[in-house]
Structure 1
Amino acid sequence: MNKKYLIVVVGPTAIGKTSLGIELARSLNTEIISADSRQFFKEMKIGTAVPSKEELEAANHHFIQHISVEEEYSVGDFERDALQKLQELYTEKDVVVMVGGSGLYVNAVTKGLDDFPEVDPQIRINLKTELEKSGLEKLQEELKNKDPDYYSEVDLQNPHRVIRALEICRGTGKSYSSFRKSGSKNRFFETIYLGLTAEREIVYDRINRRVDIMMEEGLLQEAEDLFSKRELNSLNTVGYKELFKYLQGEWDLGTAVAEIKKNTRRFAKRQFTWFRKNEEIKWFEVGTPTKEVVSYVQKRLT
């Protein structure tokens, strides 16, 4: 086999992507690239559902806890680093597996980032000032009016993403989404997309149970250890930002945990919205025997 392949496993959080990715890597005798942007950070283990020691030993993983929360690391940085890693892996492997629920990061590797126009830097400064004075909700409402498509899929609780979209909207008079429709960049591999799906009630139940397990495993202590750094953009993450409010005395612990579950469910809904737009994805219901998925992949490879 001379052609190189990237098997991409996508789907909402808590659906079982890690397990499937490992089984595929073992079956295909290859390695895994993580495209979960929340798992990049060394200090964030429990709240980002980093694979266990046993899972990491079952297959070689890349881009898991490789940087600090204090480091700036953009999707463009990941695109560059992941493509470089793929070049290295393809010297010995014909197939590599990529696992992740961060749609933008998956697309950066498989299709390339879109080209956005330069806009006046003052626009971002103004937006940050408005965020401080009026809060995030007002900016969210503006984004909803100017770009309903992006509004439906972006993490609305991430001010960095909201501001980035609005600076393009304001600076060009066009929607942020309109600049994301450029053709895919040429890649040195062929991508095979696999998606895991389930009924909404099943996904939500898995999310609720996962949050309870995270709390039992020490998520609160992890948040306490990071509390002094809570202003960092990397820590504006579901599971941490809610517990920071508890630690600041704004919420009781029960409320914070309930909010983690609610915001994670919302995140899963946005993930579904993002991935459903990709018609190349072959979807499998949760519970599908792994050998059936592996068989599908092997047929595609041959």
Structure 2
Amino acid sequence: MKNPSKLAIVIVGPTASGKSDLAILLARYFQTSIISADSRQCYRELNTGTAKPPASVLAEIKHYFINSHSIHDNVNAALFEKLALGYADEIFQQAPVAIVCGGTGLYVKAFCEGLDQIPPVPSDVRERLRHMYATYGLSWLQEEVRKKDPAFYRQADVRNPHRLLRALEVWEATGQSILNFQQQIPHPRSFQILKIGIQLPRKELHQRIAMRVKQMVEAGLFEEAASLRAFRSHPALQTVGYSEVFDWLEGKYSREEAIQQIIFHTRQYARRQLTWFRRDLAIQWIDAPDPDKALQLVKMKLSDLES
């Protein structure tokens, strides 16, 4: 049964749209904490390339699921669902409002609706596929999924090895598409949910992306990625910002070409994020990271719950 006095404010949108700044403002206003729904910010080793909030903000406002794991841990959406619901319970012990903020659509879905139960994958299957991926790379993984689970491949983010490996694991273990286990039946939550999406004109979003990449480079992205080169086969590091620097280290790009590739791939990622979130009709969109508009939506929701 839902508790009308508990509200999770879920802030979504494409990368560089201003989600974190809005979440921080709302957390200050409601004197509460933030749960990150970002599949990369949880890794302690990844800092510059994941746009984590500054240390001063992390010290001021408690953020869950940031710096909580190592790249050597097996982190996925199912684990996030379990942890995030526990985080929310902890927050609701202290405050009536919790903030969830992130651009990883599957993690947001896991928190709000839950995930379907997928049969467990034997450890030897998982280890074999991860070894094959580490040996033959992303192009091999993409081709395997395309051949064995074409229905999933057609709608997948084919640059995301986490998702591709998961689909291939399920196919190898069950002989069925992972889509067969995704029935889209929402799991009830014990709290209310308000989803706020941030959208920007494409030109402005592209400018913000280019500025963020520039800031990351100035803050030491190339140096951080170089220090992690030995772990580049880990799925956590097969992500925009790190992949391009690894290619630069191997001489595939000049430094400037690598920067432009990061900007280009980040724009592509932002487009995929928007495609995912626009399918969710429960999201209330605002045309900029507008604190006044967001507060208005939250106050209206709280008023509805009290009436």
TM-score, normalisation: structure 2: 0.86
Task: Tell me the secondary structure at the aligned position of residue 190 of structure 1.
Answer: strand
Residue of structure 2 in register with 1:70 after alignment: 72
Specify every segment of 5 or more residues in structure 1 that has no aligned partner in the other structure, as ranges. Answer: none
Q: Which amino acid aligns with 2:293?
A: E
Asked if 1:183 is matched to 2:185, the reply is: yes
Change (3 A) 1:140 1:65: same
- The Cα shift of 1:141 comes to 5.2
From 239, 253, 256, the equivalent of 1:254 is 256
Task: Tell me the secondary structure at the aligned position of residue 280 of structure 1.
Answer: coil
The 5 A counterparts of 1:176-255 are: 176-255=178-257
Q: Cα RMSD over matched residues?
A: 2.7
8 A contact 1:239–1:260 mirrored in 2: yes
Specify every segment of 5 or more residues in structure 2 that has no aligned partner in the other structure, as ranges. Answer: none
- The Cα shift of 1:13 comes to 0.4
Q: Which amino acid aligns with 1:107?
A: K
Of the structure 1 ranges 245-254 and 272-281, higher mean CA displacement relative to structure 2 is found in 245-254
* Identity rate, percent: 39
Of the structure 1 ranges 85-94 and 14-23, higher mean CA displacement relative to structure 2 is found in 85-94
8 A contact 1:30–1:95 mirrored in 2: yes
TM-score, normalisation: structure 1: 0.88
- The Cα shift of 1:145 comes to 7.4
Residue of structure 1 in register with 2:37 after alignment: 35
From 91, 94, 104, the equivalent of 2:96 is 94
Change (3 A) 1:129 1:293: closer
Residue of structure 1 in register with 2:283 after alignment: 281
Task: Tell me the secondary structure at the aligned position of residue 105 of structure 1.
Answer: helix
Task: Tell me the secondary structure at the aligned position of residue 39 of structure 1.
Answer: coil
Q: Which amino acid aligns with 1:196?
A: I
Paired residues, what number? 301
Change (3 A) 1:96 1:116: same
Residue of structure 1 in register with 2:28 after alignment: 26
Determine the C-alpha separation between the residues in 2 that align with 1:152 and 1:205: 30
Residues 96-123 of structure 1, C-alpha deviations (whole Å, 9 max, x = no match)? 0000001111111111112224578887
Residues 193-248 of structure 1, C-alpha deviations (whole Å, 9 max, x = no match)? 00001122222221112111110111111112212222222212211121112122
Determine the C-alpha separation between the residues in 1 that align with 2:95 and 2:122: 45
Task: Tell me the secondary structure at the aligned position of residue 58 of structure 2.
Answer: helix
Q: Which amino acid aligns with 1:290?
A: P
Determine the C-alpha separation between the residues in 1 that align with 2:181 and 2:282: 21
- The Cα shift of 1:257 comes to 1.4
- The Cα shift of 1:27 comes to 1.7
Q: Which amino acid aligns with 1:61?
A: H
- The Cα shift of 1:87 comes to 1.3
Determine the C-alpha separation between the residues in 1 that align with 2:28 and 2:134: 49
- The Cα shift of 1:128 comes to 5.9
Asked if 1:267 is matched to 2:269, the reply is: yes
Residue of structure 2 in register with 1:108 after alignment: 110
Residue of structure 2 in register with 1:296 after alignment: 297
